[in-house]
Amino acid sequence: MSEVHPRIASRQRVMVTPEGIALPVTVASRGARAGALFLDLFFIVAIMIITTIVLVSVAGGTAGLLNEAKEGSPAAHALQFLMVLWIIAMFLFRNAWFLFFELGPRGATPGKRITGIRVAAHDGGRLSVEMVIARNLLRDIELFMPVILIASGGVESGPGWYAATAWFLLFMLFPVFNRDRLRAGDVIAGSWVVEAPRQKLQKVMSAAKIGTADAPARTAKYTFTEAQLAVYGEFELKTLERVLRDDREKSVESVYLSIAQKIGRNDGWGDERTFLQDYYTQLRARLEAGMRMGRRKADKFSG
């Protein structure tokens, strides 16, 4: 992945699996994380409200019975039980939502799932239960406490409000000031948030002409000389691959023009796709043969 956008490149890291294979990982962007947080908070508040409404309506029914019965009756106990249920449910929604989902096989809460990110261990090892507990306990001082303080204090409370806001900003901006965008909880737990990869397997390039009938490409319509193929390197090959896979008429045409001009051919006019397809296949065959011999050509500027 050499030719990614510079803003993404700054988020690229390499993770080495126990098998010794280096895998590229992308640190989740701040936008994705903020979005995930808002979604999760929205879900939590929604589920809290729904639970409260359900319990209140059940309690309303029970209270009706209570009027007929005496105090200390089963109905009163039921009411108490509902109250206990409510308190425990609220506690769990606040504290266990993130825990429960991040321990699942996707390592992500519903909000993180939607924004395509997940939690992982920073050192490349297993994501352990302790890590998930630690990173989510810290959420309490990062988010809930200052928000409650700000809400209860209000702007009129002066210094208290400033202190609470400073506290809130300190933790919210924490990920801005370190390379891997760790929030305080990630530091404590040794975890980080990365993009959850999702790539489809694309078509085979050399077996059939993309977008046309499946005539095997082995019977190349255009053949190129060694000198014509020696012009380009791996970088140009990747660009050409992208153009062919995207298959947009305009870009195919302009790429055809620049390649044809560079290598001094004009016989593919009106049949640009096939021309480029054949050029791609032969260029790749040449570069891959070089690879097997230990010769690599990064781009058109290198020897």
Residue ranges in 220-279 that form contacts with another protein under rule CB under 8 A = 220, 234, 237-238, 241-242, 245
- What's the min distance (Å) between Cβ of 83 and another protein? 5
How far is residue 123 from each of residues 105, 159, 186, measured CA to CA in Å?
A: 19, 41, 12
The pairing of strands 12-16 and 22-26 is antiparallel
Q: Candidates 44, 48, 163, 188: give the one binding another protein (CB under 8 A).
A: 188
- Are 93 and 136 in contact by the 8 Å Cβ rule? The answer is no
Q: Examine residue 44 and tell whether it contacts another protein (CB under 8 A).
A: no
Q: Candidates 39, 48, 78, 184: give the one binding another protein (CB under 8 A).
A: 184
Rounded distance between C-alpha atoms, residue 138 and residue 185, angstroms: 5
- Are 18 and 253 in contact by the 8 Å Cβ rule? The answer is no
Q: Candidates 13, 221, 265, 284: give the one binding another protein (CB under 8 A).
A: 284
74-103 footprint of another protein as x/- string (CB under 8 A)? ------xx-xx--xx-xx---x----x--x
The dihedral of CA 196, 145, 183, 170: what is its sign? Answer: positive
- Identify the residue whose tokens are 């019977």: 219
Q: Examine residue 200 and tell whether it contacts another protein (CB under 8 A).
A: yes
Nearer to another protein, 138 or 260 (CB): 138
Residue ranges in 17-36 that form contacts with another protein under rule CB under 8 A = 17-19, 21, 23-25
Q: Examine residue 187 and tell whether it contacts another protein (CB under 8 A).
A: yes
How far is residue 266 from each of residues 249, 253, 258, 262, 272, measured CA to CA in Å?
A: 18, 13, 11, 10, 10
Nearer to another protein, 28 or 237 (CB): 237
- What's the min distance (Å) between Cβ of 201 and another protein? 5
Nearer to another protein, 68 or 214 (CB): 214
User: Which residues, including other chains, have CB under 8 Å from residue 77's CB and lie 6 or more apart?
Assistant: none
Q: Candidates 207, 225, 253, 295: give the one binding another protein (CB under 8 A).
A: 207
Rounded distance between C-alpha atoms, residue 248 and residue 139, angstroms: 47
Q: Candidates 11, 112, 118, 273: give the one binding another protein (CB under 8 A).
A: 118
